[in-house]
Chains A and B, each alone.
Chain A
Amino acid sequence: MKKQDVLGLSAMPLQSPTFPRGPYKFHDRQYMVITYITDRDAIRAALPEPLEPAGDTVSVQWLDLPDGEGLGAYAATSQVIPCVYQGKLCNFISQMYVDNTSPLAGGREIWGYPMKYGKSVLKTATDTLTGTLHYAGQQVATGTMVYKHDNQVPDATKEGHHLARPQITLKLIPDIDGKPAIAQLVSVEFQEVKVKGAWQGPARLELIPSVNCPLADLPVRGITGGLHLVTDMVLPYGKVIHDYLA
């Protein structure tokens, strides 16, 4: 392969790039967001400077992504910490688990989404919207929410405001000598968000301590509520808002 073609590759490996170029369009991207109260000290420790905490609630989210253009069908579980950057309310993605290499490698390498391989499932089990996460063979998280009890949300777009906040990730890529090559805070804002359904309702969340999947390090002190969303959206490239090496 010619040198100029090497520079045109979207990703490794040369013979079959793991992910194509963005932006990435998602159809019927479904969320179950369970918001809970946790310890303020644990939030402070989990948020990288210069991000500042915004209250004492965080969320664990299950995502079902049946049609991610360029990425395929997969599911994800993430932990999200609301925070403030330069006076603006943002969501810091502190942990994320997926079961598909394309978004895993693309997520880490483009934006710094902190993805590891975990088996996440979001499904409707009889009357219950149910999310589970297995890591290294063990169940580490279970979330449950009533199924579409509140079907009269007057303005579904309001629920989309949750998705309108910038997402912040901490992108870390080592150099070949082990020193940091990239250490940045990256901001991503979804585009063309279309909320196709939005429901709120009671929810419960169980997090089990596991060293390599430490969702339970932000312990559950009380449940604020559940949010169930079905959306279409576009995930564009991001921008660097803070460079630790500059």
Chain B
Amino acid sequence: MKVEDILRLPSMPAASPSYPMGPYRFVNREYMIITYETDAELLRAAVPEPLVPNADNHVLYEWIRMPDSSGFGDYTESGVVIPCTFNGEPVNFTAQMYLDDEPPISAGREIWGFPKKYAQPKIEVCSDTLTGTLHYAGQLVAMGTMAFKHQESPGGVEATAKHMTKTSCNLKIIPDVDGKPKICQLVAYNLTNITIKGSWTGPARLHLVPHVNAPVADLPIKRIVGGKHFVGDLTLPHGRVLFDYVKDQAG
């Protein structure tokens, strides 16, 4: 394999790259997001400086079904998102993410720094209940339930689509071959070409089980704020660096 071909590879392995070049298009992506209030001190500890956690101490626990994702296939994801601010701008920080498909795990970690691990999330309509579960290493660690399409979201699909343009942000860490940090950055991206096809709110409940390697319960539930359910198409593009810890330390 020639050098120019190596530099054109989107990812490892050269014999069969895990993921192609972006952007990545998602069709019929379905979300269930349960918002809850947690402990202020624990939230502060889970958010890397210079991000500042939201003053309401809200946490978003999410399930996302992705049946048709260009380059990645068919998979499901579940995890923890923390609304924050960066220099006063509202951003959503992805704190933990669990999914059942390797290419989006590798691409997620290696391109944007999504903190992804392999696990078994599931979202399905079980009789009258929209139900999300997450199993990690054989154990149930999260179970969320929401009333099914009881009420259309305030502002309808347009308001949900506008909300989805909010900046998202991750802590990307890639070690060097000697174990020292090679890449240590806050990176940001914004979804594009968003079409929301349906959006609902409703009562919800959430159960989180303590587990050391999938510590979703480390941000305990003090109060459930509510549930959101929506379906849409969107594009995940490349992003930008917000803050570089290695450069910051070097001054």
Contact = CB atoms under 8 A, between A and B. Distances in A.
Interface string B177-195: 1110111110101000000
A11 B177 contact: no
A152 interface: no
A183 B6 contact: yes
- Which interface residue of B10, B22, B105, B113 has the most chain A CB atoms within 10 A? B105
Contacts of A238: 177-178
A170 B115 contact: no
Given A12-B172, A109-B109, A176-B241, A1 B179 contact: no
A80 to B, nearest CB: 12
A176 B111 contact: yes
Nearest to A185: B6
Main secondary structure of the interface of B (DSSP, over half): mixed
Interface string B75-110: 000000000000000000001110001110110011
Nearest to B99: A101
Contact of B10 (A22, A46, A48, A174): A174
For chain B, which range describes its interface: under 10, 10 to 19, 20 to 34, or 35 or more residues? Answer: 35 or more
A6 B246 contact: no
B13 to A, nearest CB: 3
- Which interface residue of B7, B9, B171, B174 has the most chain A CB atoms within 10 A? B174
Given A16-B212, A49-B6, A114 B240 contact: no
A176 to B, nearest CB: 5
B173 A94 contact: no
A151 B142 CA distance: 50
Given A114-B13, A178-B238, A184-B177, A14 B111 contact: no
B159 interface: no
Contacts, number: 189
Given A15-B218, A49-B2, A2 B49 contact: yes
Given A96-B13, A111-B177, 18 more contacts: A9-B173, A12-B115, A14-B95, A15-B46, A16-B215, A45-B1, A101-B117, A104-B102, A109-B109, A114-B14, A117-B105, A170-B14, A176-B113, A176-B172, A178-B111, A181-B183, A238-B177, A244-B7
Interface of B: 1-3, 6-7, 9-16, 18, 21-22, 45-50, 95-97, 101-103, 105-106, 109-118, 171-175, 177-179, 181-185, 187, 189, 212-215, 218, 238-241, 245-246, 248-249
13 contacts: A3-B49, A7-B181, A22-B179, A114-B12, A114-B13, A116-B13, A116-B103, A170-B6, A171-B12, A176-B241, A214-B15, A217-B15, A237-B179
